[in-house]
Amino acid sequence: MKMNTSNTKQKILQTAELLIYENGIYATGMDLLVKTSGVARKSIYHHFSNKGDVAAAALNRRHERWIHWFKAESDKGKTAQDRILNMFIVLKRWFESDGFRGCAFINTAGEIGDPDDPIRQIAKIHKQKLLDYSFELAGQLNAEHPMVLARQLLILIEGAITTAYVMGDGSAADNARDIAKLLLERASS
Protein backbone atom coordinates (compact mmCIF):
# COMPACT_ATOMS: atom_id res chain seq x y z
CA MET A 1 0.00 0.00 0.00
CA LYS A 2 1.40 3.41 -0.97
CA MET A 3 1.83 6.06 1.68
CA ASN A 4 -0.19 9.17 0.83
CA THR A 5 1.68 12.38 0.05
CA SER A 6 0.78 14.09 3.36
CA ASN A 7 2.01 11.11 5.41
CA THR A 8 5.20 10.95 3.35
CA LYS A 9 5.90 14.62 3.92
CA GLN A 10 5.26 14.26 7.66
CA LYS A 11 7.56 11.24 7.84
CA ILE A 12 10.31 13.22 6.09
CA LEU A 13 9.87 16.14 8.46
CA GLN A 14 9.71 14.00 11.58
CA THR A 15 12.85 12.12 10.60
CA ALA A 16 14.69 15.28 9.57
CA GLU A 17 13.78 16.97 12.83
CA LEU A 18 15.10 14.06 14.89
CA LEU A 19 18.29 13.79 12.86
CA ILE A 20 18.97 17.52 12.96
CA TYR A 21 18.37 17.65 16.71
CA GLU A 22 20.63 14.67 17.28
CA ASN A 23 23.40 15.39 14.77
CA GLY A 24 23.09 18.98 13.55
CA ILE A 25 22.29 20.29 10.09
CA TYR A 26 25.65 19.66 8.45
CA ALA A 27 25.87 16.07 9.66
CA THR A 28 22.33 15.35 8.44
CA GLY A 29 22.76 14.70 4.75
CA MET A 30 20.21 13.51 2.25
CA ASP A 31 21.68 9.99 2.26
CA LEU A 32 21.12 9.72 6.01
CA LEU A 33 17.60 11.14 5.66
CA VAL A 34 16.74 8.62 2.94
CA LYS A 35 18.19 5.72 4.93
CA THR A 36 16.60 6.69 8.25
CA SER A 37 13.17 7.70 6.94
CA GLY A 38 12.83 4.92 4.39
CA VAL A 39 11.52 7.52 1.96
CA ALA A 40 13.03 7.51 -1.51
CA ARG A 41 15.20 10.46 -2.50
CA LYS A 42 12.84 11.20 -5.39
CA SER A 43 9.92 11.48 -2.96
CA ILE A 44 11.89 13.85 -0.73
CA TYR A 45 12.67 16.06 -3.72
CA HIS A 46 9.00 15.93 -4.71
CA HIS A 47 8.22 17.78 -1.46
CA PHE A 48 11.38 19.86 -0.97
CA SER A 49 13.78 21.46 -3.44
CA ASN A 50 16.91 20.91 -1.32
CA LYS A 51 18.27 19.94 2.09
CA GLY A 52 17.95 23.52 3.35
CA ASP A 53 14.23 23.49 2.62
CA VAL A 54 13.85 20.19 4.48
CA ALA A 55 15.77 21.58 7.46
CA ALA A 56 13.77 24.81 7.53
CA ALA A 57 10.45 22.96 7.36
CA ALA A 58 11.56 20.51 10.06
CA LEU A 59 12.64 23.35 12.35
CA ASN A 60 9.39 25.24 11.75
CA ARG A 61 7.53 22.07 12.71
CA ARG A 62 9.60 21.74 15.88
CA HIS A 63 9.08 25.41 16.71
CA GLU A 64 5.29 25.15 16.48
CA ARG A 65 5.15 21.98 18.56
CA TRP A 66 7.69 23.13 21.17
CA ILE A 67 6.12 26.57 21.74
CA HIS A 68 2.65 25.01 22.03
CA TRP A 69 3.94 22.44 24.56
CA PHE A 70 5.92 25.00 26.57
CA LYS A 71 3.05 27.46 26.85
CA ALA A 72 0.43 24.79 27.60
CA GLU A 73 2.55 23.35 30.41
CA SER A 74 3.56 26.74 31.82
CA ASP A 75 -0.02 28.01 31.67
CA LYS A 76 -1.11 25.40 34.19
CA GLY A 77 -0.29 27.93 36.93
CA LYS A 78 -3.21 29.88 38.37
CA THR A 79 -1.59 33.30 38.36
CA ALA A 80 0.84 35.06 36.03
CA GLN A 81 3.54 34.67 38.68
CA ASP A 82 2.82 30.93 38.92
CA ARG A 83 2.98 30.64 35.13
CA ILE A 84 6.31 32.45 35.02
CA LEU A 85 7.78 30.18 37.66
CA ASN A 86 6.25 27.14 35.93
CA MET A 87 8.35 27.94 32.86
CA PHE A 88 11.40 26.78 34.81
CA ILE A 89 9.69 23.67 36.15
CA VAL A 90 8.76 22.77 32.58
CA LEU A 91 12.33 23.38 31.46
CA LYS A 92 13.67 21.13 34.22
CA ARG A 93 11.40 18.27 33.10
CA TRP A 94 12.67 18.77 29.55
CA PHE A 95 16.31 18.80 30.74
CA GLU A 96 15.73 15.50 32.54
CA SER A 97 14.04 13.85 29.55
CA ASP A 98 15.73 11.19 27.42
CA GLY A 99 17.50 12.62 24.44
CA PHE A 100 17.78 16.21 25.70
CA ARG A 101 20.37 17.91 23.49
CA GLY A 102 19.81 21.56 24.29
CA CYS A 103 17.88 23.98 22.15
CA ALA A 104 17.56 22.92 18.52
CA PHE A 105 17.38 26.57 17.52
CA ILE A 106 20.53 27.65 19.35
CA ASN A 107 22.31 24.56 18.04
CA THR A 108 21.34 25.08 14.41
CA ALA A 109 21.84 28.86 14.51
CA GLY A 110 25.38 28.14 15.67
CA GLU A 111 25.98 26.14 12.49
CA ILE A 112 24.84 28.94 10.20
CA GLY A 113 26.97 32.06 9.84
CA ASP A 114 24.62 34.18 7.75
CA PRO A 115 22.07 36.02 9.94
CA ASP A 116 19.72 36.24 6.93
CA ASP A 117 19.75 32.49 6.30
CA PRO A 118 16.25 30.97 6.71
CA ILE A 119 17.52 28.67 9.50
CA ARG A 120 18.79 31.63 11.51
CA GLN A 121 15.52 33.44 10.87
CA ILE A 122 13.54 30.48 12.23
CA ALA A 123 15.74 30.51 15.35
CA LYS A 124 15.12 34.23 15.74
CA ILE A 125 11.36 33.76 15.38
CA HIS A 126 11.46 31.00 18.00
CA LYS A 127 13.28 33.21 20.49
CA GLN A 128 10.95 36.12 19.69
CA LYS A 129 7.94 33.91 20.50
CA LEU A 130 9.52 33.06 23.87
CA LEU A 131 10.07 36.77 24.50
CA ASP A 132 6.47 37.53 23.45
CA TYR A 133 5.14 34.91 25.85
CA SER A 134 7.31 36.24 28.68
CA PHE A 135 6.09 39.76 27.89
CA GLU A 136 2.48 38.57 27.93
CA LEU A 137 2.95 37.08 31.40
CA ALA A 138 4.92 40.08 32.67
CA GLY A 139 2.12 42.34 31.46
CA GLN A 140 -0.39 40.34 33.50
CA LEU A 141 1.65 41.15 36.61
CA ASN A 142 1.17 44.86 36.03
CA ALA A 143 4.95 45.22 36.27
CA GLU A 144 6.18 48.77 35.79
CA HIS A 145 8.47 47.70 32.95
CA PRO A 146 7.06 44.44 31.54
CA MET A 147 9.41 44.33 28.53
CA VAL A 148 12.47 44.69 30.76
CA LEU A 149 11.20 41.82 32.91
CA ALA A 150 10.38 39.76 29.81
CA ARG A 151 13.90 40.21 28.45
CA GLN A 152 15.38 39.21 31.79
CA LEU A 153 13.21 36.10 31.86
CA LEU A 154 14.29 35.20 28.32
CA ILE A 155 17.93 35.45 29.38
CA LEU A 156 17.19 33.15 32.33
CA ILE A 157 15.43 30.66 30.05
CA GLU A 158 18.23 30.67 27.48
CA GLY A 159 20.93 30.54 30.13
CA ALA A 160 19.27 27.60 31.85
CA ILE A 161 18.92 25.69 28.57
CA THR A 162 22.53 26.29 27.59
CA THR A 163 23.91 25.50 31.05
CA ALA A 164 21.84 22.33 31.33
CA TYR A 165 23.11 21.08 27.97
CA VAL A 166 26.73 22.24 27.96
CA MET A 167 27.44 21.59 31.63
CA GLY A 168 25.06 18.65 32.03
CA ASP A 169 23.48 20.53 34.92
CA GLY A 170 19.75 19.87 35.27
CA SER A 171 19.66 22.13 38.33
CA ALA A 172 20.15 25.12 36.01
CA ALA A 173 16.37 25.38 35.79
CA ASP A 174 16.10 25.53 39.60
CA ASN A 175 18.77 28.21 39.74
CA ALA A 176 17.05 30.23 37.02
CA ARG A 177 13.73 29.84 38.85
CA ASP A 178 15.29 31.19 42.05
CA ILE A 179 16.55 34.25 40.15
CA ALA A 180 13.12 34.65 38.52
CA LYS A 181 11.55 34.76 42.00
CA LEU A 182 13.87 37.65 42.89
CA LEU A 183 12.97 39.47 39.68
CA LEU A 184 9.27 38.97 40.38
CA GLU A 185 9.65 40.30 43.94
CA ARG A 186 11.45 43.36 42.58
CA ALA A 187 8.86 43.86 39.83
CA SER A 188 5.98 43.78 42.29
CA SER A 189 7.50 46.16 44.84
Domains assigned to the chain: 52-188 (1.10.357.10)
DSSP state for residue 120 in the 8-state scheme:
H
14 vs 62: CA distance, rounded Å? 9
Nearest of 187, 75, 89 to residue 136 by alpha carbon: 75
Helical H segments across 75-140, by residue range: 80-95, 104-111, 118-140
- CA pair distance 46, 5, nearest whole angstrom: 9
Q: Are 89 and 177 in contact (CB under 8 A)?
A: yes
Residue 48, Cβ density class (10 Å: 0-12 exposed, 13-18 middle, ≥19 buried):
buried
Give residue 63's pLDDT band: very low, low, confident or very high (50, 70, 90). Answer: very high
Question: How far apart are alpha carbons 48 and 58 in whole angstroms?
Answer: 11
Whether the full predicted model's pTM is greater than 0.85, yes or no, is yes
pLDDT at 113 (0 to 100): 87
- Report the pLDDT averaged over residues 25-52: 94
Residues 6+ away with beta carbon under 8 Å from 15: 33, 36, 37, 39
Q: Taking 90 as the threshold, does the pLDDT of residue 46 lie above it?
A: yes
Q: Which of 158, 92, 101 is nearest to 129 (CA)?
A: 158
Q: How confident is the model at residue 3 (pLDDT cuts 50, 70, 90)?
A: low
Angle between helical axes of 104-111 and 5-23 (0-180°, round to 10): 80
The answer to whether residue 179 scores a pLDDT higher than 70 is yes
Say how many C-beta atoms besides its own lie within 10 A of residue 142's C-beta: 10
Interacting residues of 140 by C-beta distance below 8 A, sequence separation 6+: 80
